[in-house]
Amino acid sequence: MATQSSFITSLVTSLIVFLVLWLVYAILSRRPGNAVIYYPLRVLRGEDGPTVAKRRGGAFAWVREAFKAKEDDIVATAGLDAAVYMHLFTAAFQIILISAIFCLPILLSLAGTSNYNQQQRMMDGNFTYTNIDNLGMGNIEPQSSKIWAFMLGMFWVSLATYYVLWKSYRRVVYMRDRANANAAARPQQYTVLVRDIPKPVGKESRTDQIVNFFARVHPGVFSRVQPVHDIKPAGKIFSDREDALRKLEHAEGVWEISKQKGDGAGQRPMHKTGFMGLLGPKVDSIDYWRAKSQEMNPQLEAEQRHTLQEMQQAAAFVIFSDRRSAAEASQVVHAPHALRWRVSQAPEPEEVVWKNLHIPAWQRAIRRGVVAVLTFLLIVFYMIPISFVASLTTLENLEELLPFIRSITRISVLGNIIQAYLPQLALILFLALLPHILILLSRLEGFPAQSQIVRSASAKYFYFVIFNVFLGVTIFGAVFSNLSSFQVLLDQSNLSVSRVVQLLGSKLPPVASYFITYVALRFFVGYGLELSRIIPFIIFHLKRKFKCKTDREVREAWAPGAFKYHKSVASDMLILTITLCYAVIAPLILIFAAAYFGLGWLVMRNQALNVHVPDFESHGSFWPHIHNRVLAALFVAQITAIGYFGIKEFPFSPFLIVLPILTVVFYMFCKKNYYPSIKVVSLYVAADVPKAQPSAESIAHTYTPVPLQEGHPGIVDRRSNLATKIDSTVNAVV
Amino acid sequence: MATQSSFITSLVTSLIVFLVLWLVYAILSRRPGNAVIYYPLRVLRGEDGPTVAKRRGGAFAWVREAFKAKEDDIVATAGLDAAVYMHLFTAAFQIILISAIFCLPILLSLAGTSNYNQQQRMMDGNFTYTNIDNLGMGNIEPQSSKIWAFMLGMFWVSLATYYVLWKSYRRVVYMRDRANANAAARPQQYTVLVRDIPKPVGKESRTDQIVNFFARVHPGVFSRVQPVHDIKPAGKIFSDREDALRKLEHAEGVWEISKQKGDGAGQRPMHKTGFMGLLGPKVDSIDYWRAKSQEMNPQLEAEQRHTLQEMQQAAAFVIFSDRRSAAEASQVVHAPHALRWRVSQAPEPEEVVWKNLHIPAWQRAIRRGVVAVLTFLLIVFYMIPISFVASLTTLENLEELLPFIRSITRISVLGNIIQAYLPQLALILFLALLPHILILLSRLEGFPAQSQIVRSASAKYFYFVIFNVFLGVTIFGAVFSNLSSFQVLLDQSNLSVSRVVQLLGSKLPPVASYFITYVALRFFVGYGLELSRIIPFIIFHLKRKFKCKTDREVREAWAPGAFKYHKSVASDMLILTITLCYAVIAPLILIFAAAYFGLGWLVMRNQALNVHVPDFESHGSFWPHIHNRVLAALFVAQITAIGYFGIKEFPFSPFLIVLPILTVVFYMFCKKNYYPSIKVVSLYVAADVPKAQPSAESIAHTYTPVPLQEGHPGIVDRRSNLATKIDSTVNAVV
């Protein structure tokens, strides 16, 4: 029973790691100097870091605070996107809880009192099973009438999912509409993005062309045009100047610090101007960078003038005199050939991807096709290096490769730990590389807004984990053994739908305990790291010690960054997919899944309230993405069940076909009823009159990219413009 | 070579039938008394029938006239829908012509100079072929380099189709936009249809509720609400009264005619009031029906008042002050939950399906699902009775069943004729029943407009003919032999995509000559009947002789009715599907297809200019439907080619996979670029200001169903309200 003991070892070590990390958090977060690591959001919002850190008492304070916080607090502090992300945890937790009410008491006891595994062992000496396997549906005799209860369980889980998703979608639509209606007016509510503007006829300038068009089709409510320019050359000069200004600031900081030592006169920093600062004449850094940055000022001004006059692109922001008209215009076909003058809601100014705006529709379509093919290849062939490394990392292989390891693995506890974690660690390391590639691919697709890029990357990541982790472990059985079984599968030319159903049903149950270990690892270690922020903590202190010389550099060193939705949502959805697939087949997983989403809910709320700063606010546009993937997970679970119930020779298993049909109907209903309210702003909501209204000039200014802004100080804080960001988010949503 | 002689017999007899019918037309149409049969549209537009009939000279006059007519004439006379239907013939003819330029000279000569059929015959004595088969790709040796030319032909045909479809879509969009922009204003342009209005809160009346909602979301441009009522009870009384009024008119007509005979005093008609006019007391018909109709007047008025006050439904027509605002409103999401307050373009008043307006969205979805299932069953199982009858109607079977037939079939010419036509006739007779069922099914789906019902029925009919005629004859090979091969197909559990491709490729070529016969029958006999209008001619003269006593009854007897798009489009599309599939495999079919669409173009233009009266005008909404089905036909042809080229063991046949992908890309492009302009009216077009504008009151009046109209004369002309219809169409489009 080696598997069982490694299973328990894995759980226990995960728990220990988590408790250690919790302890680390409890100790470190109370030290005032660490406030910028553990409460950066509060510090940015103007609270005094040390006071916040001191006020907290006991290791459970954060739990209490996260638990007590209202949804409105989350919206006010972290924005609607974060609140919607929290809602994923709420919804998953609710689904699991309702499922558990039926599955844990009834199905576990039914499975526990059966002994089919034992029977099979008596028939076939090679058959192995663990005590955990005895608590799953595998232990039920085929054709037994007990299977009725499991079938009922499948219906129960499905209905619970529909119910929770339905309530959640309503809630998200409500929150979004409330934010859109009564909130203080925001620039994007008055603005639409126009792309694919045709070439102007004759000598008409682009601006005139756009103004004439909109004055004709939106008489009375059209207010102002803010054309989009090619900012590449101006951006280049701007960032060169920014680089010089940063180096100037750094050199001044170094001088300032040197004054505090010795006689107070300090020592002006020097550097060589040649390759890597190693060659060339030595110069005074402050003088050098000041001169450099100043000589670029007239260059930038000239380039700005040139850009504004000559480099208009086939896109523009059009500003309306009221929110209703902008909302209406963004939903309407403007030109007889609909691929021209394409109008859509303007993204929030901060999340505009300036480089993508001018890409014409046909090119966006081609880019999307190419990226889809690349993503497909990436997903399918990423398995090859993973499985290669994974095959090295099974203990036996490692012992062959590196014989000295044997001395370690002889100690049984250590051997078990390594056996339990090695494959998972290999997987997790490889997965860490991926999100950056996916974000890059999504950016190439030509989306106008950062939030769309993140959503698209998240979708790709979801496909990746489903294919490579979920299907990889189950159907292909290849990731952690070898590629041969995958090849066998591909060689079977008659790969059909019924075959996939059968495969899912037969291959999923045996790996239940593997997935339970996976979930446990993810929540204990993952949330432990997230909560304790060990890595940012170390990086910050290293940077502050050796690199940071100015206030700006320190600020950027502790800047907490935003939630990485494109990574986290897909991972969470993988856990939920696994949970839904096993909820009935191996109900024990519900306990671990509840822990994952329960703990996740607490930790993420803490991070939303205290740590992460949103990069952008898309007003919960993420929810349909999450909703659809939960439904897809449920669909896979239902298909798996059909396969597995068939293997159990249960004569009534065809009844289960109702479930995938129900899922499709529910999907269509939500898409028709709720999705439009996320995609666009309904007229009823947009017709609400705000208290105050921004001027068209101020809106046009927010839609000017930084390199074209006159009188900009010249340095943009890295990892987003934190201070202004917080203010605008808070004002907008409260 | 029995097949070949029956093939030629079939062509020759078809031609003879057509020439006879043409002769009939040439003779009958010149008699002034038949003007209402051959020129009813002109008569209705106020031209003098006899003059029109006389002015025409020679049997070719109609050809000249149909050929010379401009597209604008068609639009002005018969409306945009008819012009778009003519465009189907233009487009198909162009596709075939361009295809023929390559396929006829090159492919025919390549096939004609090969002798694979002969080789096969030498190898296998049972192998049979005809001279016609020698002109197809079947006569090319496998692996021959001649196949390159056929592959090039496939690309040529595909590119020709894309080109013609692209030009056609542009043209249709242009015509539609022109009709929508400059034309005299029509009521539907100012109106939107609102459905799924939620229950009013508290004591608010429905009208107040709708007015308040639209005054909020469309301030300034919202003009008036015309609520929709449940007209069932009022409609019942109205039609009872109409029935009485018609009988009164008829009785007066009878008396009027009787006066002309004998002494001029005439004889007042009498009838019995009991069952079927056979029992009960005898009464004076005129007095009886006058009293009956008058006693219903107060009833109707009371019911009208009651309906207007109490029976408002959850739908309404909302009238705007300008076309732009209505066009904009019809494209926008109005309520936070998008399944409420669903707003769409209002249909033309004449084509509103009043009974469907109140059906809520969820019920429409269910209805659509149920109808889809019913249609599927209908399509699949309609084959069973057809194949049963068809198996009876093969000559051998008939001779067994009815031995006396043998004496006829002994005469070889007659035998050949019967052999050639019997199966087709059985099919055609069965198909005649179907359209009525399909229209009924489509009405049940809950569409608000008659044109949508017709489109939906046409789609169903298309699926039907593709499945039962095209696939029935080719893949299943079952329609005209027996059901066993169909069963064999279903029994093969591993029915996969590649298998379907293979089947299409292998089964299609052998039945080429069957389909050529089918096309010839359809165009010679079908268009002969359409042109000569033999059946309406006979019915009209019978009715006038024995039934019609009043002017109204005569007018209704010759009323020509509209084009039956739901039947004809699907049939035309079947011919085009067959043509595209055989264009390369058996290029000879292009000649017959060119004749079908060329002759069809002439005949249908003649019918559009002189005969049919549109029931409704949907401004060319039919085009996307046609466009998509042409593309689907091309897609099937491309898949077939992949299969057949594979059978010919041509190593480069995988190149053909490019074609279906191209088709999908082209489909997506048209859907994105052109479809929106058909589905909605773009703002740029709607922003055109018309010369004159109807008042909100007059628009509201047109959207009042007849039974609720005050002071209506009481009788609605059957087969649409012809006179007013013509006027409004003409005024609207010119």
User: What confidence category does residue B143 fall into, taking pLDDT thresholds of 50, 70 and 90?
Assistant: confident
pLDDT of residue A62: 84
Of A301-310, B477-486, B536-545, which range is least confident?
Answer: B477-486
The pLDDT value given to residue A73: 87
Spell out which residues of chain A touch residue B682, defining contact as CB-CB under 8 Å. Answer: 333-336, 338
Taking the mean position of all CA atoms in its chain, how far away is CA A315? Answer: 29
Whether residue A425 contacts residue A443, with contact meaning beta carbons closer than 8 Å, is answered with no
Q: How far apart are CA B458 and CA B453, in angstroms?
A: 8
Give the integer Cα–Cα distance in Å for A724 and A715: 14
Identify the residue among A166, A333, A343 best suited for mutation to test binding to B, counting B beta carbons within 10 A and taking the highest: A333
* Contact between chains at B684 and A339 (C-beta distance less than 8 A): no
- Predicted confidence (pLDDT) per residue in B166-191, tens digit: 999 999 999 998 888 876 788 899 99
Give every CB contact of residue A513 below 8 A, 6+ residues apart in sequence.
A3, A4, A7, A130, A132, A133
Closest CA to B621 of B422, B351, B426: B351
Q: CA of B486 to nearest chain A CA: how many angstroms apart?
A: 21
pLDDT band at residue B41, thresholds of 50, 70 and 90?
A: confident
B222: phi then psi, degrees, rounded to nearest 5: -75, 135
Q: Is A497 an 8 Å CB contact of chain B?
A: no
CA nearest to B647, candidates B501, B513, B476: B501
- The DSSP symbol for B382 reads T
Residue of B nearest to A689 (CA): B216
pLDDT at B404: 66
- The highest-confidence range among A170-184, A247-261, B243-257, B623-637, by mean pLDDT, is B623-637
Hey, is the C-beta of A333 within 8 angstroms of any chain B C-beta? yes
A494 contact B CB<8A: yes
Closest CB from B336, B365, B677 relative to A173: B336
Confidence of residue B517 (pLDDT cuts 50, 70, 90): confident
CB-nearest partner of A683 from B177, B334, B675: B334
Q: How far is the C-alpha of B193 from the C-alpha of B189, rounded, in Å? A: 11
pLDDT of residue B392: 59
Predicted confidence (pLDDT) at residue A51 exceeds the cutoff of 80: no
| Mean pLDDT for chain B overall | 83
DSSP B465: I
CA–CA separation, B671 vs B668, rounded Å?
5
Min Cα separation B235/chain A (Å): 34
d(CA A560, CA A38): 9
Please determine, for residue B200, whether its predicted confidence score (pLDDT) is greater than 80.
yes
Closest CA to B636 of B471, B460, B468, B464: B471
B chain contacts of residue A327, beta-carbon cutoff 8 Å = 332
**Interface residue B687 vs chain A (CB under 8 A):** yes
Query: Which is more confident, B510 or B203?
Result: B203
Contact B324 A217 (CB under 8 A): yes
pLDDT in tens, B8-22: 777 788 888 888 988
Q: Using only C-alpha atoms, what is the Rg of chain B? A: 29
Q: In which residue are the tokens 């759980």 written? A: A11
Residue B57 burial class via C-beta count within 10 angstroms: exposed 0-12, middle 13-18, buried 19 and up: exposed
Contact list, A683 vs chain B (CB under 8 Å): 217-218, 332-335
B240 phi and psi angles, rounded to 5 deg:
-60, -45
Asked if the Cβ–Cβ distance from A684 to B337 is below 8 Å, we say: no
A173–B contact, CB cutoff 8 A: yes
- A328, A339, A665: best to mutate for the B interface, most B CBs within 10 A: A328
| Per-residue model confidence as pLDDT tens digits over B352-361 | 999 999 999 9
Out of A217, A328, A672, the one facing B339 most closely (by C-beta) is A672
Q: In what order do the strands lie in the sheet with A342-345?
A: A222-229, A312-320, A191-195, A342-345
Average pLDDT (A530-548) is 86
Instruction: Report how many Cβ contacts below 8 Å link chain A to chain B.
Output: 113
A441 against B712, higher pLDDT: A441
Point out the residue among A217, A331, A674 whose CB comes nearest to the CB of B332.
Answer: A331
Residue A71 pLDDT level (bands cut at 50, 70, 90): confident
Residue B39, C-beta contacts closer than 8 angstroms, at least 6 positions apart: B29, B47, B49, B52, B53, B610, B611
DSSP string, A487-533: HHHHH-TT--HHHHHHHHHHHTGGGHHHHHHHHHHIIIIIHHHHHHT
**In Å, how far is B452's CA from the nearest CA of chain A?**
20
Min distance B462 CA to chain A CA atoms (Å)? 26
Residues of A in contact with B687 (CB under 8 A): 216-217, 219
What whole-number distance in Å separates Cα of residue A508 and Cα of residue A519?
Answer: 15
Q: Do B337 and A496 touch (CB under 8 A)?
A: no
Structure-block tokens of residue A332? 């309407």
* Crossing angle for the helix pair B361-381 and B412-444, to the nearest 10 degrees: 160
Q: Do A683 and B365 touch (CB under 8 A)?
A: no
| Closest CB from B216, B327, B683 relative to A687 | B216
Q: Which residue among B216, B338, B673 sits closest to A672, beta carbon to beta carbon? A: B338
Which of these, B598, B594, B642, B636, lies nearest to B470 by C-alpha position? B636
pLDDT digit string, tens, across residues B381-421: 876 766 666 565 565 666 666 666 666 666 667 666 666 66
Mean pLDDT across chain A, nearest whole number?
83
Give the side-chain half-sphere CA count within 13 A for B453. Answer: 26
Q: Is the pLDDT of residue A388 over 70?
A: no
Please answer whether residues A729 and A612 qualify as being in contact, where contact means their C-beta atoms are separated by less than 8 angstroms. no
Q: Do A338 and B218 touch (CB under 8 A)?
A: no
Residue B232 near residue B266 (C-beta atoms within 8 A):
no
pLDDT in tens, B276-287: 777 778 888 888
Residues of A whose CB is below 8 A from B360: none
Q: For chain A, say whether B674 makes contact (Cβ under 8 Å).
A: yes
DSSP string, B682-714: -HHHHTSPPSS---HHHHHHHTS-GGG-TT--S
Interchain proximity B672–A331, CB inside 8 Å: no
- Residue B526: pLDDT band by 50, 70, 90 thresholds? confident
Nearest CB partner across the interface for A217, out of B216, B338, B687: B687
How does residue A212 score in pLDDT terms, banded at 50, 70 and 90? very high
Query: Which tokens sit at A320?
Result: 């309306």
Residue of A nearest to B677 (CA): A336
pLDDT digits (tens, 9 = 90+) for A589-636: 898 889 889 989 999 999 988 888 888 888 889 999 999 999 999 998
pLDDT tens readout for residues B218-244: 998 999 999 999 999 999 999 999 889
Mutation target among A684, A688, A689 for the B interface, most CBs of B within 10 A: A684
Farthest CA pair distance, chain B:
92
pLDDT at res. B265: 74
Nearest to B673 among A173, A339, A684 (CB): A339
- B335 vs A contacts (CB less than 8 Å): 682-684
Span A361-386, average pLDDT: 87
The pLDDT of A112-139, averaged and rounded, is 76
Task: Locate B514 and state its tokens.
Answer: 């069957």
B261-270 pLDDT, tens digit each: 777 777 888 8
pLDDT value at residue A476: 57
- pLDDT given for residue A76 in this prediction: 85
Interface check A462 vs B, CB under 8 A: no
> Is residue B668 within 8 angstroms of chain A, CB to CB?
yes
Calculate what percentage of chain A has a pLDDT beyond 90.
Answer: 31
- In the structure, what pLDDT confidence band is assigned to residue B722 with cuts at 50, 70 and 90? very low
pLDDT at A508 exceeding the cut of 70: no
CB contact under 8 A, A332 and B332: yes
Q: What whole-number distance in Å separates Cα of residue B721 and Cα of residue B723? A: 6
The pair phi, psi for residue B128, each rounded to 5°, is -115, 150
Integer CA distances (angstroms), B583 to A103, B156, B502, in order: 61, 10, 18
The DSSP secondary-structure symbol of A198 reads: P
A324 contact residues in B (CB cutoff 8 A): 217
Q: How far apart are CA B14 and CA B7, in angstroms?
A: 11
State the smallest CA–CA distance between residue A248 and chain B in angstroms.
52
Stretch B427-453: mean pLDDT: 86
CB of B217 within 8 Å of a chain A CB? The answer is: yes
Work out whether strand B342-345 and strand B191-195 pair parallel, antiparallel, or are unpaired: antiparallel
Reported as a single tens digit per residue, the pLDDT across A447-495 is: 999 999 999 999 999 998 888 777 777 665 533 444 444 445 555 444 5
Contact list, A496 vs chain B (CB under 8 Å): 494, 496
Catalogue the E-assigned strands of B155-281: 191-195, 222-229, 270-272
Nearest to B268 by CA among B280, B250, B295: B250
Residue A415 has a pLDDT of 67
pLDDT band at residue B106 using 50, 70 and 90 as cut-offs: confident
Q: Enter the tokens of residue A580.
A: 């839904």
A677/B365 CB distance under 8 A: no
pLDDT over threshold 60, residue B33: yes
Contact list, B672 vs chain A (CB under 8 Å): 338-339, 361, 365
**Block residue for tokens 């170390």:** A538
3-class SS shares of chain B: helix, strand, coil, % to 5: 70, 5, 25
Chain B contact present for A684, CB below 8 A: yes
Half-sphere exposure of A632 (CA within 13 A, CB side): 14
- What does the alpha-carbon distance between residue A400 and residue A531 come to, in Å, rounded to a whole number? 38
Whether the Cβ atoms of residue A28 and residue A534 lie closer than 8 Å to each other: no
Min CA distance, A327 vs chain B (Å)? 9
Task: List the single range of A69-73, A309-313, B44-48, B462-466 with lowest mean pLDDT.
Answer: B44-48
Percent of chain B residues past pLDDT 90, beyond the cut: 31
Q: Do A333 and B173 touch (CB under 8 A)?
A: no
CB atoms within 10 A of CB B267: 12
Mean of pLDDT values over A320-348: 92
Q: How far does A196 lie from chain B, in Å, by closest CA?
A: 12
